[in-house]
């Protein structure tokens, strides 16, 4: 288990992720951004090769591999002690990224896109981030509907954690999937009820950084959603979040430290 909240920085090797500040197009910018996140206090850095924003289009396994594997290899050579997570729903990308130096697999699809993912992660013996989503990124925000979002997401994790254990995945991290097939109301209800998921006895990852729940509620843009992100990250920490997945590491680290002092 995680004994204190961690910060996971976001680095996207994509041209179309929803927040421009997380996109890196050349190695010089990548090195600089990666080092800054480490210096600002990130314990993990999550690298993704394709956007999963609402309405995004899929790219091939080969294209995603060409984006992320050389980057991971270069970053591991430059920063050998850094902990890197690979954000992918392709089992081959997961496998080759771990071979290149990644040590966590973050899968937004829970193997619904690639049925080999779970068996591959089990063989890799790395932690697996299991996320809830209703629908796929291209259609997930087309009228998402739940009778009781907290109960349905909880039931999803009870089932999926059991599947993970049965296939041999020992370390499971859960992510309720803010913005993945959920309205603003659904997202805020999940945030309010986040402590319910502690009964699963798994680390909780909170990934709400600069998302539309924040900037649409505030009538602004993702570029101006840092303050709102910090507010919701703080609420998440108070409700039991163990990992903050964020674009802005320094501010997230400050929230963690302040909440730790508050709780002490």
Q: Catalytic: 245? A: yes
Tell me the pLDDT band of 18, cut-offs 50, 70 and 90: very low
User: Measured in Å, how far apart are the chain's first and last C-alpha atoms?
Assistant: 19
How far apart are alpha carbons 264 and 249 in whole angstroms? Answer: 22
pTM above 0.85, yes or no: yes
Average pLDDT over residues 163-168: 96
Lowest mean pLDDT among 14-18, 133-137, 160-164, 238-242: 14-18
Q: Is 1 contained in some domain?
A: no
pLDDT band at 1; cut points 50, 70, 90: low
Six token digits for residue 65: 């591999």
- Is 117 within the bounds of a domain? yes
* Domain extent at residue 258: 6-263
- Of the chain, the percentage scoring pLDDT greater than 90 comes to 77
Position 146 in a domain: yes
Closest CA to 145 of 135, 131, 157, 154: 135
- Does residue 17 or residue 77 have the better pLDDT? 77
Tokens found for residue 241: 């979040």
If you ran DSSP here, which 8-state letter would residue 23 be given? B
**Could you give the number of structural domains in the chain?**
1
Report, as an integer, the average pLDDT of 223-249.
97
- From the list 143, 245, 250, 253, the catalytic residue is 245
Residue 183: which pLDDT band, with cuts at 50, 70 and 90?
A: very high
143 noted as active-site residue: no
Percent of all residues in the chain with a pLDDT value above 70, rounded to a whole number: 90
The answer to which of 107-111, 163-167, 173-177 has the lowest mean pLDDT is 107-111
Neighbour count for residue 217 (Cβ, 10 Å): 14
Any domain includes 35 = yes
Q: Per the structure block, which two tokens stand in for 83?
A: 């902990």
- CATH code, domain with 228: 3.20.20.20
> What is the widest separation between alpha-carbon atoms in the chain?
49
Cα angle 241, 247, 253; round to 5: 50
Do the Cβ atoms of 22 and 34 come closer than 8 Å?
no
- Look at residue 54 in the predicted model and tell me its pLDDT: 63
Residue 255's pLDDT is: 98
List C-alpha distances in Å: 203 to 2, 10, 85, 188, 242. Answer: 7, 18, 15, 20, 6
For 253, the token pair is 């680290």
Task: Say if 190 falls within a structural domain.
Answer: yes
pLDDT digits (tens, 9 = 90+) for 21-37: 555 667 888 889 999 99
- Which of the following is catalytic: 125, 211, 216, 250? 211
């Amino acid at each position: 288990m995680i004994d204190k909240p961690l910060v996971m920085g976001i680095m996207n090797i994509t041209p179309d992720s929803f927040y421009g500040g997380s996109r890196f197009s050349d190695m010089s910018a990548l090195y600089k951004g990666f080092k800054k996140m480490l210096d600002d206090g990130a314990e993990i850095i999550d690298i993704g090769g394709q956007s999963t924003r609402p309405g995004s289009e899929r790219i091939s396994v080969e294209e995603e591999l060409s984006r992320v594997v050389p980057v991971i290899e270069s970053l591991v050579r430059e920063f050998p002690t850094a902990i890197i997570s690979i954000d992918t729903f392709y089992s081959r990308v997961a496998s080759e990224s771990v071979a290149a130096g990644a040590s966590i697999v973050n899968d937004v699809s829970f193997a619904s896109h690639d049925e080999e993912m779970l068996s591959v992660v089990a063989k890799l013996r790395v932690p697996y981030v299991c996320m809830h989503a209703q629908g796929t990124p291209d259609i997930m925000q087309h009228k998402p509907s739940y009778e009781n979002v907290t109960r349905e997401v909880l039931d999803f994790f009870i089932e999926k954690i059991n599947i993970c254990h049965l296939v041999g995945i020992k370390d499971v991290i859960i992510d309720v999937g803010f913005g993945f097939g959920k309205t603003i109301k659904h997202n805020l209800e999940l945030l309010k009820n986040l402590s319910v998921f502690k009964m699963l006895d798994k680390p909780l990852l909170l990934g709400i950084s600069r998302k539309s729940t924040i900037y649409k509620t505030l009538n602004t843009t993702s570029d101006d959603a840092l303050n709102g992100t910090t507010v919701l990250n703080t609420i998440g920490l108070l409700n039991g979040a163990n990992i903050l997945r964020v674009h802005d590491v320094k501010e997230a680290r400050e929230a963690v430290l302040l909440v730790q002092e508050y709780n002490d």
